[in-house]
Amino acid sequence: MQITLDVMKEKDLKQILQIEREAFSNPWNVKFFKEELRHNAFALYLTARVVEQIIGYVGFWFKNHANEVHIVNLAVKKDFRREGIGTYLIKEIIDMSRNLQADYVTLEVRVTNEAAIKLYQNLGFKKNGLTPHYYLDNEEDALLMKKEIVYNEG
């Protein structure tokens, strides 16, 4: 399977919203995505594609005041889960973070999302705290996870 990475565009939102509804109990709406794409200068959203079909996406914010890249959203189309797409997208963010000379990559994940927690741990993320009642749909806690970016010496 040949996967290409691209910057998310507004014309992608129909496919993005389908994946968003598949993946989350409290999905983002089109207005939120448009605001992020049009007005958040510190945000970047990427799509993973097979031909013209979007099979996953990831969004992050570069928090330059904290020298941190914060992953705000990651989802993979249902039919393509457990095929390494999420790992591919996270690795791309880690590489971009290194290029941006960030110190950390951070994210929040539902405490009950064991598959995602395992994925992040396998990629070097460590548990870094808890935010009580973070998720609005059911007041579930969020696990904060953090990965230190390592740079090659020399």
Please name the residues in contact with 28: beta carbons below 8 A apart, sequence gap of 6 or more.
20, 73
Here the CATH number for the domain that contains residue 142 is: 3.40.630.30
- Give the separation between CA 138 and CA 149, rounded to whole angstroms: 33
Residue 154 is assigned to a structural domain of this protein: no
121/145 Cα distance (integer angstroms): 9
Rounded CA separation 126/26 (Å): 25
> Quick one: pLDDT at residue 153?
56
Confirm whether 153 is domain-assigned: no
- The verdict on residue 87 lying in a domain is yes
List average pLDDT for each run of 10 residues in the chain, which is 154 residues long.
94 97 92 96 95 95 88 95 94 93 95 94 96 87 95 65
Q: Give the number of domains in the chain.
A: 1
Residue 108 sits in which domain range? Answer: 4-148
Give residue 76's pLDDT: 96
Residue 128 domain-assigned (yes or no): yes
